[in-house]
Structure formats: C-alpha cells, structure tokens
Amino acid sequence: MSSENRIPRPIPRRESPWGTPEGEHRQPKPHRCNDRVEDVIQACFEGNPFKTVPGPFKLFWQCMRSKPGEEPTEPFYYLPPLDPSTTEVKLE
C-alpha cells in the first residue's frame, strides 16, 4: 500500500478516570513545583551531592506539601532567578 493511499488517523490521547480535557486546544502545563525539581537536578551535578542536594530537596518537598499559592518563596540554590511575569504560561 502506498503512502498516498493511507488515511491519516488522529493521534490517540491518554484518557483518565476523571475525564478528558475540553477540546483539542488544551495543552499540558508544568507542575507548580517543576522549577524546584530542576533545582534539585542541577544540585546533583554541582560537586558532592551529599552536600548540594539537601537544601534544594527540602524546598522541593515543602513545595510539594504546600497548597497551591503557598509555595516556598526562598530563592533557588542553583537556578537563576526567574521573572514571575514570564514563568506562567497563558492558554487561550
């Protein structure tokens, strides 16, 4: 069968027990603690991990256990400071 005779099929989307997102325009967005995870990962490559990881991991753990909007405000250990106006992605 040649490629021009094939009918393209839609890419299947993963469904969850809580339902599917409304419409095809919704895109996944990063978790609110994603930047804290990135800081922990960067700490793994900055010298002795037994000394560099505990601080960033503590802030990541606080972020994960906090309610949305109550995340820790301490600066990152290894990531550069982020401009809050550019960290949130607006979906239309």
What are the extents of the domains in the chain? 29-81
The amino acid occupying position 39 is D
Q: Are 21 and 31 in contact (CB under 8 A)?
A: no
DSSP 30-76: --TTHHHHHHHHHHTTSS-HHHHSHHHHHHHHHHHHSPTT----SPP
What count of other Cβ atoms lies within 10 Å of the Cβ of residue 81?
A: 7
With a cut of 90, say whether residue 11 has pLDDT above it: no
With a cut of 50, say whether residue 1 has pLDDT above it: no
The confidence score (pLDDT) of residue 79 equals: 86
pLDDT in tens, 17-44: 555 556 566 667 788 899 999 999 999 9
Dihedral over alpha carbons 65, 68, 69, 72 (to 10 degrees): 20
